[in-house]
Structure 1
Amino acid sequence: MTPEIRLTESPAHLRHGANIGQPLTRRDGILKVTGKAPYAADRHPRGMLYAVLAVSSIARGRVTFLDVAAAKSHPGVVDVMTPTHKPPLAEDPDAKTNPFMFRMELLQSDAVRYANQPIAVVIAQTLEAATEGAALLTPTYETLSARVGLDADESFVPPAVGPGHPPIVEHGDVEAGLAAAAKAIDASYETPAQYHNAMEPHAIVASWDGDKLSIDTPSQGLAWAQGRIAGLFGIPVENIHIRSPFLGGGFGSKGLISGPQILGIMAARLVGRPVKLVLRREHMYGPVGHRAPTRQRLRLGTDGNGLLTALEHHAKTVTSSFDDFYESAADASHTLYASRAIRTSHEAVRVDTGTPLFMRAPGEATGSIALESAIDEMAWACGIDPLQFRIRNDAEVEPISGKPFSSKALRECYTKGAERFGWWERPLSPRQVRDENGFLVGWGMGTATFPALMFQANARAVLRADGSGVMETGAHDMGQGAWTALAQIAADGLGLDIDRVEFKAGTSDLPDAGIAGGSAHTATAGVAIHNAGAAVIAKLADLATRDQRSPLFGAGNAGVIARNGRLHRRDDETRCESYADILRRAGLAEIEATGGGAADPVAQADYAMHAHGAVFAEVKVDPDLGQIRVTRMVGAFAAGRIINPKLVRSQLFGGMIWGMSFALHEEAVMDRRSGRIMNPNLAEYHVPVNADVPSLDVLTVDEHDPHVNPLGIKGVGEIGITGSAGAVANAVWHATGVRVRRFPIRISDLLMAG
């Protein structure tokens, strides 16, 4: 068994006061920067073999031949897993028993459904031997024409979009609103396919012991992974132990167990030895999800005062030929701007790619760059400053549902962000400002929003006789700092300094912490932790207040307060007793309790729950070469209660950088003839590097929300993208006077327009 990782230390200079709200440094930071944090691929159980995928080079057809004999002739190759030589599964991997179950390619036939689909697995003594063995398979194919792009086939209205949302939503009469408008725009925008590209590729180390399975793999949802594996292999969930203490990024791609990870488990069962399978970078472009491309049409109308009379947002997207996931891009128009008439709708086309899935800010990221560009165009048509236009049309209640917001400090975000950025010095017309080098300077902005979600979770709390505490939950840290923020909540829930709390997370034998996705993990696991702490403190208080030897005896009606490892009478705080003394006198080594958390259905029915923000961007454009440089970004965000300002700042920076990347860098380039992605690597799939990152500034606006959950947490992991992409795109227009509606914006777009 691998040693259990326990994070217990925090920097001495930060040990003061309540833990929630303190800018604590990551508790796992030293482990990571010194290389001592074990990721899945770092595990090497005794007798381990290496597995490498052989993947299809076509997008549609079937495999007609694999030279298995040649691969097996390699001296290091142990076995080759193919559709005709594989362990059986207890469940059809194409079966779907719930909406969050997606189909996998697990060598069940010779059919090829997309390029980079796994078609065999070579298992060998070394990684080099497995790689060489995979190359020796030299597959041949029967090839069919690949269906590629948004116009590949007949479109249809999907049954649902995103996580089960209706594909069409209407409020009021859009056509009447457009007909009555004094000003109107009708514009279409396109966004490309994007791939998660976390630094850590998907990986698995799998070991079987009879019908018991031990796994090391990165996961954003341990319990979901257990359930999927149990179904596929026909074993009890409790027979599966998953270790996932650290993830090198996920962005949604590790929320659900993927086909290659299951193939690693199958390979281990086939050879009867532990097997490690790690995806090469190019293998991540297909079987582990991506963000689908979109084409979005927005029609907006305003009256003579610049107030919206109609807003229509239609999105066309793609899904795979064999499964259903539809990017809910048009849903971005549901919540921000007030209009008498709003209509959002979706259509889709089936193509020969891997199935698109959730990717950081799914729906909102793609939808908001189109919406915020259209809002900017509408403001220009009305001759109104873009910020003033947004303030004028800010929705005081959720426009379609009519629900009041649980809290909404967006206008304060507008005000503070604009002040920090210096927005009011911006000329209204484009192409008016140049810097000392003659570069065109432009300023743009975008509104940020993301729903405040919460899932179900559980936690276990323990107080020990030495006065220390333990908090256990199967939480996931993919770089967002969960091991630190959740430990802060645990410490306050237990009434202890954080250095007296042992926080256990990252394994499937701990209470289910829900899924780390939808910017909901801190709220979800945090509420469970908070409730577990309250439950164990209540048990401890019951021991003390019923004991005549305790100074807290009889305080049951008055109540007690837990602070710094002691219980104090609420009506007389001088009467107190340490946890250690209470447990020692009761003859107990420890006391424990559990707690759960889930969204309040009544509050959800009564309120619209969203985080909000405003992002401002400055770009400089070479007027001769068309080169674009983002030089400055300011973001102001209101996201409920902030558990750790340092971690929140980091997450918002990351989101803003991704938004900049969305506008200027990221695109998976598809060969339309073969259906193959032409840039499946980090050299040609462009993401920002340090030289591309501008001066970033983040403000957080205080926001108390008593409705969203007991801790008032909204989440910050995804909101930073949603305003930033539009802000950069709008800044490029303001610098050049060229409105680019296909992203990412290219140099050629500006030169050809000029």
Structure 2
Amino acid sequence: MTPEIRLTQAPAHLRHGSNIGQPLTRRDGVLKVKGEARYAADNHPPGMLHAVMAVSSIARGRVTFLDVQAAKSHPGVVEVMTPTHKPPLADDPDSKTNPFMFRLDLLQNDGVRYANQPIAVVIAETLEAATEGAALLSPQYELLPARVGLDAGESFVPPAVGIGNPSEMRRGDVEAGLAAASTRIDATYETPAQYHNAMEPHAIVAAWEGDTLSIDTPSQGLVMAQGRIAGLFGISPEKIHIRSPFLGGGFGSKGLMSGPQVLGIMAARLVGRPVKLVLRREHMYGPVGHRSPSRQRLRIGVDGDGLLTAIDHHAKIASSTFDDFFEPAADASHTLYASPAIASSHEVVRIDTGTPLFMRAPGEATGSIALESAIDEAASACGMDPLAFRIKNYAEVEPISGKPFSSKALRECYAQGAERFGWSKRPLAPRQLRDEAGLLVGWGIGTATFPALMFQAEARAVVRGDGSGLMETGAHDMGQGAWTALAQIAADGLGLDIEQVEFRAGTSDLPDAGIAGGSAHTATAGMALHDAGAAVIAKLANLATGDERSPLFGAGNAGVVARNGRLFRRDDESRSDSYADILGRAGLTEIEARGKAAADPAAQSVYAMHAHGAVFAEVKVDPDLGQVRVTRLVGAFAAGRVINPRMVRSQIYGGMIWGVSFALHEHAMMDRRSGRTLNPNLADYHVPVNADVPSLEALMIEEHDPHVNALGIKGVGEIGVTGSAGAIANAIWHATGIRVRRFPVRIDDLVTPASR
């Protein structure tokens, strides 16, 4: 069962009126601090066995031998699952029937398509026995040369990028715009492969009872996972119960069922007992997605007045040899800067790697660090302040489409962020600032943007006979505070204080809350909750206004307002009726209604919908050693209506820290001979630790958007990444005068003149 989650009570002055907009503390915070939050791998059903994957040590070829007998002879080993000994599947794991379905490695055959591909699963009474049994398999291979890197083979133009985006888009005559420019930039930027590295690895505890399946697993999309499993095993989705009350991070990697999770289900079916399979950290470098490396060329033209004449953004990215996800990096240039001519294009090279998939701000994070660096280079070439250059080329409508923005407070982001940071004191030329220790100091800016997305969702609302409420939706909380923000929306939808509402989420038997991705979860699930609340209040109003015993009798035309557990006449608020009294007179113990949410196609056809922001960065660089420290980040963001300022600020901080990571730390190093990742662990794959995190400040700029949805919500989960990495790169140039175009920035980039 889903653990009970209690709300930390808000201060008294916040417990009346609207719950939305209040900085409430996390509903799950106390459980997590006390160690009582139960994650997937914390479950131990009776009779449970442990499963461990054996993975390939080569990137291309086939397995010619597995010493299954040695593994099975090890004390405690119960079974070994291999391509020739596994339960049958009802569907081919290599089939694709929709854009969100990706090919899985489920021991189809002896072929190896990438390093760390699962090649067998050992099931044992203990984790130690399963681990030792996997080592005893001692695989042998027929080896083929690994194809590694963006120059590994012939490239091609993909039919689409992302999920159905055109691989090439064009508006205006780019070549004519470049030819007419008085200043031109032509620069190439490279970003490496990156891996999600959520604190909680992918895990599953699976138990079969006949053809009914019970699962504990982290999921960003419960109903999608349910459907995928149902197809693979040929059972009804209703026979699959998934529990996912807590996720220790996902960043996109847990949006879709991965191969290792399905292998855990297969193992449980093979042995007829519950099975737990938890990925080791190094096993997450391959079968569960990552961010593709990129090489991006930007050509920018500027006229004598500092106005853009053309932007041409071309991205070369990598994908696997067997699937079709292509990072839409060049699409980052579609929305930010006013240019009469814009072109974006992509090419792809297939390499021997696990399939790159969605990773926080897919496309935008990769593309924006290149775009923001190039815009900075253009400003410098024109002798203009980089903030002034951005304002000069401010887009009043979406450049690629010509649509008006549903709302856009980017000017206010620039103004308030610059004032808070002290940008007016920035010298134009680089290498002009030093601190008291003699370190070079640089200031940089990056513009942030991310689309305001919304998916489909459902929710159920109940008003009980005692006047309390219940809201249900299968929402996902990856640590972003979703259960807190959604509970605030739910309470407002019912016209109750949040303490009076029970909020249920995190299991697949609840109404579908959609997928927690694309920074769309609060808008998606929130609108379903909002609509469910409105529907149940409407039912209450019908009962009251049609009941001669009610003070609201006959108020149907005037209408009512729900507040503090009562309905009030709109035209005479001295007349009201409590929920409990309305239901009591009707002889009902409760009343319920459902709500659905989806994006409005009509609004989307008219408006471009985005969140915006501006990030200002300060770095210090040792002039002799080339060591870089980010010492200050100030971000100002406009993202529609803020449900919970505390949760939003936390998300923005996380995005800004990810920007630090992108600019200075993250880099999956590949062995070009074997195709293996050389640093598949958190010791060698560097992400920021507390000592790397600078002073952070996030300003939320007030923004009202009547078009994105009825609540005016945009997402904040990913926008903080998109401006921060570019701001840091530009600050490094301002400190050193060296323009680095390869990320992450390395010491050797700053102690040699090669990148000038």
Counterpart amino acid of residue 92 in structure 1: D
1:193 touches 1:290 (CA, 8 Å); kept in 2? yes
Structure 2 residue 741 is matched with structure 1 residue 741: yes
Q: How does 1:696-735 map to 2 (within 5 A)?
A: 696-735=696-735
Which amino acid in structure 1 is aligned with residue 382 of structure 2?
A: C
In the alignment, the residues of structure 2 paired with residue 250 and residue 590 of structure 1 have an alpha-carbon distance, to the nearest angstrom, of 37
Match of 1:181 in 2: 181
Q: Write the letter of the residue equivalent to 1:737.
A: G
Q: Which amino acid aligns with 1:214?
A: S
> Per-residue deviation at 1:148?
0.3
Partner of residue 5, structure 1: 4
Q: Is 2:91 the counterpart of 1:91? A: yes
Which position in structure 1 is the counterpart of 2:460?
460
Does residue 1:303 correspond to 2:303, yes or no? yes
SS of aligned partner of 1:552: coil
The answer to whether the 8 A contact 2:2-2:507 is kept is: no
Task: Give 1:198-347 correspondences, 5 Å limit.
Answer: 198-347=198-347
Query: Deviation per CA, 1:67-122, whole angstroms, max 9, x where unpaired?
Result: 00000001110000000100000000000001110000000100000000000000
Paired residues of 1:551 and 1:576 also in contact (CA < 8 A):
yes
Q: What is the rounded CA distance, in whole Å, between the counterparts of 1:75 and 1:189 in structure 2?
A: 53
**Paired residue for 1:192?**
192
Partner of 1:167: 167
Residue 50 in structure 1 maps to residue 50 in structure 2: yes
Contact 2:5 2:27 in 1 (8 A): no
Residue 224 of structure 1 aligns to a residue whose secondary structure is helix
User: Is contact 1:7-1:503 (8 Å) kept?
Assistant: no
One-letter code of the match for 2:481?
A: G
Alpha-carbon distance, 1:641 to partner: 0.3
Alpha-carbon distance in 2 for matches of 1:714, 1:449? 11
Once the two structures are superposed, what CA deviation does each residue of 1:147-205 show, in whole Å capped at 9, x if it has no partner?
00000000000010011100000111111111110000100000000000000000000
Q: How does 1:420-499 map to 2 (within 5 A)?
A: 420-499=420-499
Inter-partner Cα distance in structure 2 for 1:418 and 1:560: 45
Output one character per residue of 1:378-436: Cα deviation in whole Å (capped at 9) or x when no partner: 00000000000000001100112110000000000000000000001000000011100
Letter in 2 for 1:643: I
Distance 2:182 2:194 in 1: 38
1:449–1:723 CA contact under 8 A, matched in 2: yes
Matched, 1:553 2:589: no
- 1:469/1:8 CA distance change after superposition, 3 Å: farther
2: CA distance between counterparts of 1:658 and 1:252?
Answer: 14
Q: Does 1:33 align with 2:33?
A: yes
User: Aligned residue for 2:658?
Assistant: 658
Is the 1:8–1:503 contact (alpha carbons within 8 Å) kept by the matching residues of 2?
no
Structure 1 CA distance, aligned partners of 2:551 and 2:15? 28
Structure 1 counterpart of 2:21: 21
SS across alignment from 1:343: strand
Partner of 1:380: 380
Residue 113 (str. 1) matches residue 129 (str. 2): no
Which residue identity is paired with 1:10?
A: Q
Structure 1 residue 752: Cα displacement: 1.6
Q: Which amino acid aligns with 1:583?
A: L
Equivalent residue of 1:207, what SS?
strand
Q: What is the CA–CA distance in structure 2 between the aligned matches of 1:345 and 1:9, rounded to whole Å?
A: 49
Structure 1 Cα separation of the partners of residues 22 and 29 of structure 2: 16
> 1:11 Cα shift?
3.5
- 1:8–1:501 CA contact under 8 A, matched in 2: no
CA deviations on 1:460-492 (whole Å, 9 max, x unpaired) are 000000110000000000011010000000000
Identity %: 81
Find the residue that maps to 2:668 and give its secondary structure.
coil
Give 1:574 shift.
1.0
**Deviation by residue 1:14-43 (Cα, 9 ceiling, x = unmatched):** 423310000000011000111101000000
Tell me if 1:646 matches 2:608: no
SS at match of 2:615: strand
Q: Is the 8 A contact 2:8 2:25 kept in 1?
A: no
Letter in 2 for 1:688: P
Query: Normalised by the size of structure 1, how large is the TM-score?
Result: 0.99
1:158 aligns with 2:155: no
Q: Tell me whether 1:672 sits opposite 2:684 in the alignment.
A: no
1:524 positional shift: 0.3
Q: Which runs of 5+ in 2 are unaligned?
A: none
In the TM superposition, what whole-angstrom CA distance separates every residue of 1:113-133 from its partner, at most 9, and x where no partner exists?
000000000000000000000
| Counterpart residue identity of residue 73, structure 1 | S
* Structure 2 counterpart of 1:392: 392
CA distance in 2, matches of 1:24, 1:3: 22
- Whether the aligned pair in 1 keeps the contact of 2:55 and 2:117 (CA below 8 Å) is yes
Contact 1:440–1:735 (Cα < 8 Å) also in 2: yes
* Distance in 2 separating the partners of 1:130 and 1:723: 45
Give CA-to-partner distance per residue, 1:248-286, whole Å, 9 cap, x none: 000000000000000000000000000000000000000
The amino acid of 1:534's aligned partner reads A
Q: Per the alignment, in what secondary structure is the counterpart of residue 460 of structure 1?
A: strand
Q: 2: distance between equivalents of 1:209 and 1:683?
A: 41
Residue 8 of structure 1 contacts residue 500 of structure 1 at CA under 8 Å; is this kept in 2? no
Letter in 2 for 1:16: H
Give 2:537's aligned residue. Answer: 537
Corresponding residue for residue 612 of structure 2: 612
Residue aligning to 1:631: 631
Other structure's SS at 1:574 match: coil
Determine the structure 1 residue equivalent to 2:102: 102
Measure the CA separation in 2 of the matches of 1:411 and 1:9: 37
Amino acid at match of 1:29: G
Q: Secondary structure at 1:572's aligned position in 2?
A: coil
Cα distance, 1:4 vs structure 2? 4.6
CA distance in 2, matches of 1:580, 1:738: 69
Report how far residue 514 of structure 1 moved: 0.3
Q: How does 1:580-619 map to 2 (within 5 A)?
A: 580-619=580-619
Q: Number of matched residues? A: 753
Listed one character per residue, the Cα deviations across residues 322-377 of structure 1 (whole Å, up to 9, x for unaligned) are: 00000100000000001111110000000000000000000000000000000000
Alpha-carbon distance in 1 for matches of 2:674, 2:736? 37
Secondary structure at 2:367 match in 1: helix
| Cα distance change of structure 1 residues 504 and 7 upon mapping to structure 2, 3 Å threshold | farther
Q: Give the C-alpha shift of residue 10 in structure 1.
A: 2.9
Counterpart amino acid of 2:4? Answer: I
Q: 1:419 corresponds to which letter in structure 2?
A: E
Is residue 170–residue 343 contact of structure 1 (8 Å, CA) maintained in 2? yes
Q: Distance in 2 between matches of 1:107 and 1:400?
A: 44
Displacement after TM superposition at 1:9 (Å): 4.8
Offset of residue 577 of structure 1: 1.1
The residue type paired with residue 338 of structure 1 is A
CA shift, 1:8, in A, is 4.7
Mapped to 1, the partners of 2:58 and 2:752 lie a distance apart of 34
Distance 1:474 1:491 in 2: 17
C-alpha RMSD of the superposition: 0.8
Contact 1:228 1:257 (C-alpha < 8 Å) held by counterparts: yes
